[in-house]
Structure 1
Amino acid sequence: MKVLVTGAAGFIGASLCGRLLARGDEVLGYDNLNDYYDPRLKQARLARLLPQPGFRFALAALEDRDALQRAFAAFAPQRVVNLAAQAGVRYSLENPQAYIDSNIVGFLNVLEACRHAGTEHLVYASSSSVYGANRKLPFAVEDSVDHPVSLYAASKKANELMAHTYSHLFGLPTTGLRFFTVYGPWGRPDMALFLFTRKILAGEPIEVFNHGRHSRDFTYIDDIVEGVIRTLDRVPGPDPAYDPMAPTPASSSAPYRLYNIGNHRRIELLRYIEVIEDCLGRKAERRLLPLQPGDVPDTCADVHALQRDTGYAPATPIEVGVRRFVDWYREFYLSERPVRVAGRCPSAPAFAPVSQLGEHP
């Protein structure tokens, strides 16, 4: 297939592009390489994709409607995976406008582009953060999600509502995936695993919020990507069991689905830190702090619907996943001949103008 992946230089996006290329799909990666975290890591991920046959790249933002429309017109994707977004719960307290620009305006541009291009299926990233103040565990897609506790969460809930509107009005098949705490090699520097690893190795104290007593459904990157691909390959239709007298957020009389995608296991943060310490062979100095505004105490995904419909089966325990991350971190940042680069990746050619995306590199 021809698949357009937004956020292609991101953690999940780069891994997804690699898997799609490996199975023979043609991929257009779309990313603005912003500086929310070190763009050199994004460029290094991208440098692994650029030499591969079937991969093309567009350097542009979702908010740039004209650039996005040109990319669709030139590449003519059959299916789209929208992973680009302004990420981060805590950052949404500091810069809320970024979330409206990217996650609301940008997502509307994606929906419009898909609608007019006749896209077969749009898969888009939602988030476990939409469960907000909910306390019933595990979180199920049938649960109400009307009490977000961060603007990031509110923007992701808005995406789900916007997608349903386009599925209903225009027959655009859409599937939303509520990601639960993704980790692994090439992960984001603002996530706990990366921060803890860097600080423990540097002999610096780590900040442990909620005194380490909150829990997360940590999900390994390979399991996540497998679930995304299984979902992408399954185009939704109207749910024949949908009852408008007893509606559920998970499906609709329109071609629309919502799924949790996680590990279906709760891991307390203190246990997570112990695994990191074991893999590093060092103990952390812990600075215990209260729960931060916008954070939630616990998350756990009910993934039965995704398992039922796609055969999704997460299988990576944190002991294995954290070890793989630590091995990658040491190689990427600490080896004598590091994989990372300073500045732009030397193997990356100048990025193609969007107008040239119809041409093979």
Structure 2
Amino acid sequence: MSIIVTGAAGFIGSNFVLNWLNNNNEKVVALDKLTYAGNLENLKSVETKPNYVFVQGDIGDSKLIAEIFQEHQPRAVVNFAAESHVDRSIHGPDDFMQTNIIGTYRLLDEARSFFNALNEDAKKQFRFLHVSTDEVYGTLSSTDPAFKETNQYEPNSPYSASKAASDHLVRAWHHTYGLPVLTTNCSNNYGPFHFPEKLIPLCILKALQGQDLPIYGDGQQIRDWLYVVDHCRGITTVLEKGVVGETYNIGGWNEKTNLEVVHALCDLLDELKPLDDARSYREQITFIKDRPGHDRRYAIDATKISNELGWKPEETFETGIRKTVQWYLDNQDWVTRVQSGEYQHWLNKNYS
């Protein structure tokens, strides 16, 4: 038995592979295109395991995907592969359309061909789990109830629009072709191996380098924060117990404004890595022009997965953010190696 994990060298994908291999012996076929955010160093601790195979490739490469299916005969596909950063989608939407829409389509269609050739017992076991985002639901006011699985899709950025399209494709391949799919929509993840373009790792690293901590607009945008290992546990739970064709929201029950998050990071750094002159890292906070189409609030209602499948997050924001800050302090060599020239160019373009 084996599973295919796409986007396996990225932030959430690599954490999922590590968590999976630490908890069972089933083989993982890890597929990743290794673009700027895919980093094989994330998977270094498992590279010698006999039940781990890495393949460099694109989910949009139908020939390669067909070969992987035939060689490894998976019982499941877990699809993390996606371009996933809103700012990048604003400046360059084409990659998002190609990977998130066309790539998902080609992966689905090869999965359909493979599934159709299985015997009846194997068909009953097979699953295609698609990992999506809360951003497909659009934005909330401060008083709106959190997103449920039944919320209307109202994406507001090229990134969220491309993910919404991929979700619709997954649904259509189930209803039209009978492919046994599951979809998860998660809130903002944080934790180890997070590429330093997102808010939490970006601010940790800029704080340590003595640079300004850039906060969009007034910093009052609200997000629900989910520790990445909790997310991985949630995906595993859906894969094992989820009802075919259903969608499950995975959230952390931790709504925080961006400014609250950065204040928490600064306070932890004041404790764990104090500045020589005893100043607070909060003094490095600076406010910059808001980005176009910036959603005001996301919040996930994770009642369904809790009540129906028995999953709940183990980490609070306070315990998870402490683990995250400590990980970045302990892994500065990893940080240095992922900060390529491309990343520096992107930082200058967005935050100068």
* TM-score interval, normalised by the smaller of the two chains: 0.7 to 0.9
**Who is 1:325 aligned against?**
324
Distance 2:324 2:139 in 1: 31
**Who is 2:49 aligned against?**
52
Please list the CA deviations of residues 126-178 of structure 1 after superposition, one character each: whole Å capped at 9, or x if unmatched. 11111114443311111111x32111111111112111111112211111111
Distance 1:114 1:294 in 2: 35
Query: Given that residues 331 and 339 in structure 1 are in contact (C-alpha distance below 8 angstroms), is that contact kept between their aligned partners in structure 2?
Result: no
Among residues 187, 196, 204, which one is paired with 1:197 in the alignment?
204
**Who is 2:30 aligned against?**
29
For residue 291 of structure 1, report the CA deviation from its aligned partner.
Answer: 3.1
Distance 1:191 1:341, change over 3 A: closer
Distance 1:300 1:133 in 2: 9
**Who is 1:270 aligned against?**
259
- Structure 1 segments unaligned to the other structure (5+ residues): 237-254, 344-361
More deviation, 46-55/221-230: 46-55
Q: Does 1:186 align with 2:193?
A: yes
Q: TM-score, normalised by structure 2?
A: 0.86
Q: Does 1:207 align with 2:214?
A: yes
Q: Give the letter for the 2:34 counterpart.
A: L
Q: Does 1:156 align with 2:194?
A: no
Distance 2:139 2:224 in 1: 16
Among residues 76, 91, 100, which one is paired with 1:94 in the alignment?
91
Distance 2:94 2:262 in 1: 33
Query: Given that residues 130 and 157 in structure 1 are in contact (C-alpha distance below 8 angstroms), is that contact kept between their aligned partners in structure 2?
Result: yes
Q: Give the letter for the 1:260 counterpart.
A: N
Among residues 119, 127, 143, which one is paired with 1:121 in the alignment?
127
Distance 2:52 2:336 in 1: 21
Q: TM-score, normalised by structure 1?
A: 0.83
Distance 1:150 1:231 in 2: 27
Please list the CA deviations of residues 51-70 of structure 1 after superposition, one character each: whole Å capped at 9, or x if unmatched. 12200011001121111111
Matches within 5 A, 1:349-360: none
Distance 2:162 2:323 in 1: 32
Distance 1:263 1:19, change over 3 A: same
Distance 2:79 2:214 in 1: 32
Query: Given that residues 121 and 235 in structure 1 are in contact (C-alpha distance below 8 angstroms), is that contact kept between their aligned partners in structure 2?
Result: no
Distance 1:4 1:206, change over 3 A: same
For residue 230 of structure 1, report the CA deviation from its aligned partner.
Answer: 0.2
Distance 1:138 1:84 in 2: 26
Q: Does 1:63 align with 2:52?
A: no
**Who is 1:141 aligned against?**
149
RMSD, aligned CA: 1.7
Distance 1:339 1:190 in 2: 14
Relative to its length, the structure with more helix (as a share) is 2
Distance 1:205 1:340 in 2: 18
Q: Give the secondary-structure state (helix, strand or coil) at the position aligned to 2:293.
A: coil
Distance 1:99 1:318 in 2: 30
For residue 206 of structure 1, report the CA deviation from its aligned partner.
Answer: 1.0
Distance 1:130 1:68 in 2: 27
Query: Given that residues 259 and 305 in structure 1 are in contact (C-alpha distance below 8 angstroms), is that contact kept between their aligned partners in structure 2?
Result: yes
Q: Give the secondary-structure state (helix, strand or coil) at the position aligned to 1:3.
A: strand
Q: Give the secondary-structure state (helix, strand or coil) at the position aligned to 1:187.
A: coil
